[in-house]
């Protein structure tokens, strides 16, 4: 149980375009979802926290107009990177928690974004 999927697993886009990444909890209802960014050989940095039906809370330094997060249902959150630039190239990982296990986060497999 507690499976989280991400789609796509990798994407290449041109500079200036927008890219949407989906995060789904497959077998549980995710009351909270988190989005992380990971640059090569570095740790995960939390970008934002989203609760179903409410606006996402962004970490300091993360542009909310550039990284649009929508958490429309208890099983789906989306991250849209708008007007992507090469410096946005990174590994984006989502995670989810359920109401039963608030201390355990279940991670998706990640999405590799390359902006050319």
Partner 1 sequence: SQQGEEDPQALSIQEGENATMNCSYKTSINNLQWYRQNSGRGLVHLILIRSNEREKHSGRLRVTLDTSKKSSSLLITASRAADTASYFCATIYGGATNKLIFGTGTLLAVQP
Residues 33-52 that bind partner 1 (CB under 8 A): 34, 41-46, 49
| Binder among 78, 110, 113, 115 for partner 1 (CB under 8 A) | 110
Q: How far is the CB of 41 from partner 1 (least distance, A)?
A: 8
Under a CB-based contact definition with an 8 Å cutoff, are residues 43 and 37 in contact? no
Helix (H, G, I), strand (E, B) or coil at 51: strand
Q: How far is the CB of 112 from partner 1 (least distance, A)?
A: 7
For partner 1, give the closer residue by CB, 68 or 107.
Answer: 107
| Binder among 105, 113, 114, 115 for partner 1 (CB under 8 A) | 105
Kind of pairing between the strands at 111-115 and 10-13: parallel
Cα atoms in the Cβ-side hemisphere of radius 13 Å centred on 23 = 34
- Listed residue (45, 55, 40) closest to 89, CA to CA: 40
Residues contacting 54, CB < 8 A, separation 6+: 71
For partner 1, give the closer residue by CB, 18 or 26.
Answer: 26
Give residues in contact with partner 1 (CB under 8 A): 4, 6, 32, 34, 41-46, 49, 91, 93, 95, 97, 102-110, 112
């Amino acid at each position: 149980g507690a499976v989280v999927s991400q789609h796509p697993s990798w994407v290449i886009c041109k500079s200036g375009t927008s890219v949407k990444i989906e995060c789904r909890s497959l077998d549980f209802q995710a009351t909270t979802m988190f989005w992380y960014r990971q640059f090569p050989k570095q740790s995960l940095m939390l970008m934002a926290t989203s609760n179903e039906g409410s606006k996402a809370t962004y970490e300091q330094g993360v542009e909310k107009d550039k990284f649009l997060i929508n958490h429309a249902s208890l099983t789906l959150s989306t991250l849209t990177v708008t007007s992507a630039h090469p410096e946005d190239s990174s590994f984006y990982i989502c995670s989810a928690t359920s109401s039963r296990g608030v201390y355990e986060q279940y991670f998706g497999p990640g999405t590799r974004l390359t902006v050319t």
